[in-house]
Chains A and B, each alone.
Chain A
Amino acid sequence: MIWIYLIITLLGNAPPRVIDVPNDGGNALMVEWQLPPDSLGKVDSMLILRKTLPEGKVDTVAKAFTNHPEFVDEGVNYKKAYRYSILYFIGPVQIQSKWSSPAEPVAGWIDTRKIPLFILMMLYTTILLVYIFTARKGRELYLRPIAGLEAVDEAVGRATEMGRPIVYIPGLSTISDVATIAALNILAHITKKAGEYETKIIVPVRNPVVYTIAREVIKEAYYTIGRPDLFDPGQVYFATDSQFGYAAHVSALMAREKSATNFFMGMFWAESLILAETGASTGAIQVAGTDAVTQLPFFVVTCDYTLIGEELYAASAYLSKEPLLTASIKGQDQMKLLIMVAMILLSLLSVFGVNITLGLF
């Protein structure tokens, strides 16, 4: 029985240590306590008690296990102070440690761990802005051609030759998805092209907000080429927001309208192959473009041309013929170069046993 008294005296005198968890919103405190060296197997369990100041209300915040003499209490508020105590259960005996001195959680104004990320973000923004301003001054910037781009115009031409409509799917996502924005840019271009030849273009949409913008884009495109009369309110509509309901509808649409050309641009999920394979079965020319990596294999297999990942954004910038947008592609490239250089340098350093993380990698 002597060791129990030993433990009691050892435990009873040691209040837990409480420190603030840095870089948080003042909602966490870290509680650490010392276990007597021989406590394994003797202490059955522990409860962590918390006293909220100034009220003095005592709560049991958690149960702890012997191997892990620390605990992060995430239930605190930065406007108050707290004291902690540990309640030990040793067989039939309960012992409570002294209360710790009061600790106040601090609410931080900047998360220091994220500073490197912030610097990286600023660097990228600067690079982009530099290129955009260069373009504003009217300097020409070289960009290599993208294979799928000529295909877009050819595909519109084919629908004209065959006298059959074009079906354009601007993806299934919301407007906050960058791929949707790119898809709408490309839609503007295609509508103008198709409008010049008076080829009908049908745009079923899954998202209500995207629907309203797509309608505006089409109207505006017809207006630009001086043919506002071509706009037909039935050509762009909200189909349904159910993913597979939409897929069923578009499949049926392509089969019934016998569209000569189908465009799938934007964000897609599992329905991609349903759309593209039905389209292929009707003999249409198909051009796809998406940044959804999981769906790319299916488009590559079933479509005549596929804009892969970043090519979709690049295509949207090329087609808009807006120098400021193409300039940003240049900026993206420089950032890519920087990342590649960083990857090679950091790997080389690692060969010599130097592992640098820059707080990021």
Chain B
Amino acid sequence: MHISTDPWVWVAAILTLAIFTFLYKDNPLFKFAEHLFVGVATGYGLVIIYFNAFKPNLYQPLFVEHNLLYIIPFFFGILYFSAAIPKFSYMMRWPIALLLGIGSGLSIPLSFQTYIVEHTKSTILRFPYPNTVLFINALILFIGVLTVLIYFYFSYPHKGAIGTISRIGIIFIMIGFGASFGYTVMARFSLLVGRIQFLLGQWLGIHTVM
């Protein structure tokens, strides 16, 4: 065993343990770590957003390259501060409107392509199939997608035949959820194994761990 002498490793190790204590119950050490986390992360966010988003997308083109086209977003950005002045606070909705307009406009054709066209395309049965197993799988997939879509059909009461079909849809949904859950366990355990390896290996220096 060679316990680390690097003070930064100690900081990281103590903070790691502090977060783990929450599993026992809420306590002052965790509360400290949580507030430190929130403070550091917000500060980090501000600095990074300034250097990586504000500077290249607004400051550089407007104040260095003097591209007057960028007065518009700068003006919109300034309007956020109108929130502080009750009389003008309604103007804060303008930048939000700009973001929402651009975001919604971009998403419409893209969502059509990725969510609807692609998924429909790969669900439609395409004969011939190289073997029966593949055909049966494609057929089950096809039935699954249709029944799940029926489950999300709101215009008709889910009774009788439609009720039965939507019930099959729920079965597919539940099997899917169960499979996803079971499949994700491994990834999450690996994260914890990583933290334990940090504590035992890098901090406490137990070399068999790494």
Q: Are A350 and B124 in contact (CB under 8 A)?
A: yes
Contact: B126 with A350, CB < 8 Å? yes
Q: Please, what's the 1-or-0 string for A238-263, where 1 marks a CB less than 8 Å from any CB in chain B?
A: 01111011001101100110000000
Are B112 and A121 closer than 8 Å at their CB atoms?
yes
Quick check: A117 and B120 within 8 Å, CB to CB?
no
- CB of B112 within 8 A of CB of A252, answer no
Q: Name which residue of chain A comes closest to B30, CB basis.
A: A252
A255 and B26 in contact, given A350-B126, A350-B127 (Cβ under 8 angstroms): yes
Which of B1-9, B62-70, B100-108, B193-201 contacts its partner?
B100-108
For B113, the closest partner residue in chain A by CB is: A117
Q: Is A163 an interface residue (CB 8 A)?
A: no
Query: Do B146 and A240 touch across chains, with their CB atoms under 8 A apart?
Result: no
Instruction: Decide if B155 is an interface residue (CB 8 Å cutoff).
Output: yes
**A296, B177: Cβ atoms closer than 8 Å:** yes
Cβ-neighbour of A343 out of B145, B155, B177 (below 8 A): B145
| Choice from A301, A329, A340 contacting B154 with Cβ under 8 Å | A329
Residues of chain B with a CB closer than 8 A to A255's CB? 22, 25-26
- Are B117 and A175 in contact, with the CB atoms below 8 A? no
- The residue in chain A whose Cβ has the minimal distance to the Cβ of B43 is A240
- Residues of A close to B113: CB separation below 8 A: 117
Which residue on chain A has the smallest CB distance to residue B49?
A241
CB distance from A184 to the nearest CB of B (A): 12
Asked if A251 and B157 make an inter-chain contact with CB atoms under 8 angstroms apart, the answer reads no
- Chain A nearest CB: distance from B35 CB in Å? 9
* Chain B residues positioned under 8 Å from A346 (CB to CB): 124
Given A333-B154, A337-B153, A361-B124, also A294-B180 (CB < 8 A): yes
Chain A residues with Cβ below 8 Å from B176 are 297
Chain A residues near B19 (CB-CB < 8 A): 248
Nearest chain B residue, comparing its CB with the CB of A210: B96
Interface residue stretch chosen among A47-55, A151-159, A220-228, A303-311: A303-311
**Contact (A252, B154) CB under 8 Å given A117-B117, A297-B178:** no
A300 touches B127 (CB 8 A): no
**Cα–Cα, bound, A336→B120 (Å):** 11
* Chain A, interface SS category: helix
Residues of B within 8 A of A144 (CB): 154-158
**B152 on the A face (CB < 8 A):** yes
**A234 an interface residue at 8 Å Cβ cutoff?**
no
Q: Does B142 contact A (CB under 8 A)?
A: yes
Q: A residues 159-189 with Cβ under 8 Å of B?
A: 174-176, 178
How distant is the Cα of A24 from the Cα of B32 in the complex, in angstroms? 56
Most buried by B among A298, A337, A339: A339
Please give the distance in Å from A272's CB to the nearest CB on chain B: 11
Contacts of B158 in A (CB 8 A): 144
B26 touches A256 (CB 8 A): yes
Cβ contact within 8 Å between B127 and A209: no
- B154 & A314 in contact (Cβ 8 Å cutoff): yes
Q: Could you tell me if A175 and B99 are in contact, using CB atoms closer than 8 angstroms?
A: yes
- Residue pair A300, B155 in contact (C-beta under 8 Å): no
Rounded to whole Å, the gap between the CB of A155 and the closest CB of chain B is 22
**What residue of chain A has the Cβ atom nearest to residue B119's Cβ?**
A339
- With CB as the reference atom, state the residue of chain B lying closest to A117: B112
A298-B181, A360-B117 known; A252+B34 contact, CB < 8 A: yes
Q: Are B109 and A121 in contact (CB under 8 A)?
A: yes
Instruction: Flag whether A342 is at the interface (Cβ < 8 A).
Output: yes
Give the distance in Å from the alpha carbon of A101 to the alpha carbon of B155 in the complex.
62
Q: How far is the CA of A339 from the CA of B155 in the complex (A)?
A: 15
Tell me the complex Cα distance, A294–B97, Å. Answer: 30
Q: Check B149 for interface membership: any CB of A closer than 8 A.
A: yes
Does A212 lie at the interface of the complex (its beta carbon under 8 Å from any beta carbon of B)? yes
Among A114, A175, A336, residue most surrounded by chain B Cβ atoms (within 10 Å): A336
Q: Which of A143, A297, A351, A353 has a CB less than 8 Å from the CB of B177?
A: A297
19 new A-B contacts at CB < 8 Å, known A124-B112, A144-B156, A175-B99: A114-B109, A142-B156, A142-B157, A143-B154, A146-B154, A175-B103, A240-B41, A248-B22, A248-B37, A252-B31, A255-B22, A297-B178, A297-B180, A309-B152, A314-B154, A336-B149, A343-B146, A346-B124, A347-B124
Q: What would 17 A/B residue contacts be, using CB atoms closer than 8 Å?
A: A120-B116, A121-B108, A142-B156, A142-B157, A143-B155, A174-B99, A174-B103, A176-B102, A209-B96, A213-B96, A239-B38, A245-B37, A245-B42, A255-B22, A339-B149, A340-B146, A361-B120
Q: State the B residues within 8 Å of A (CB).
A: 19, 22, 25-26, 30-31, 33-34, 37-38, 41-42, 44-45, 80, 83, 92, 96, 99-100, 102-104, 107-109, 112-113, 116-117, 120-121, 123-127, 142, 145-146, 149-150, 152-158, 173, 176-178, 180-181, 184
Closest 6 CB pairs of A and B: A176-B103, A242-B41, A347-B125, A297-B177, A245-B41, A361-B121
